[in-house]
Structure 1
Amino acid sequence: AVGSAKTNVGHLEAASGIVGLLKTALSIHHRKLAPSLNFDTPHPAIPLAELGLAVQRETGDWPRPGQRLIAGVSSFGMG
């Protein structure tokens, strides 16, 4: 699943990375995938299904119950 914290709280500039980390940590702690809000249709040039990806549209369970959870957070700043 692919998600973003920006859809939940907006872009927080310098704090956006920590918000992504917090959303991910809470997701792992509660063993629930949080949704990305207001997502309708992916850009046609991005083949999500072919890449094995899906945008998390609603709260759900991690795909492998009982196994170790692994997640990644991407964040960068400019300026």
Structure 2
Amino acid sequence: HRNLKRSSEVLFISPPAVSQNINKLREYFEDELFIKTTKGFDVTPFADSLFESVTPILEQLSVALDSHNQFDPAKLEGTITIE
């Protein structure tokens, strides 16, 4: 998303938590990963190649998980209680 606030919203964590995790990744990969610009953030060449490598894997994982546990209210049996 190239924006700390938007990224935190998508990940359901606070902006400081995103920042802390980015710092951990920077240390692990020994690369800046993201460079602050006037329009948000740009990625380093290493971060771009990492993104290209892991995206297909994450998409496959997402499909596998989504197809395994799809919620279909029409197939629900029993009672739901909201307290």
* TM-score > 0.5, shorter chain as reference: no
Find the structure with the greater CA-based Rg: 2
Of Structure 1 and Structure 2, the greater strand share is in 2
Q: Higher relative contact order by CA 8 Å / sep ≥ 6: 1 or 2?
A: 1
State TM-score, norm by structure 1. 0.33
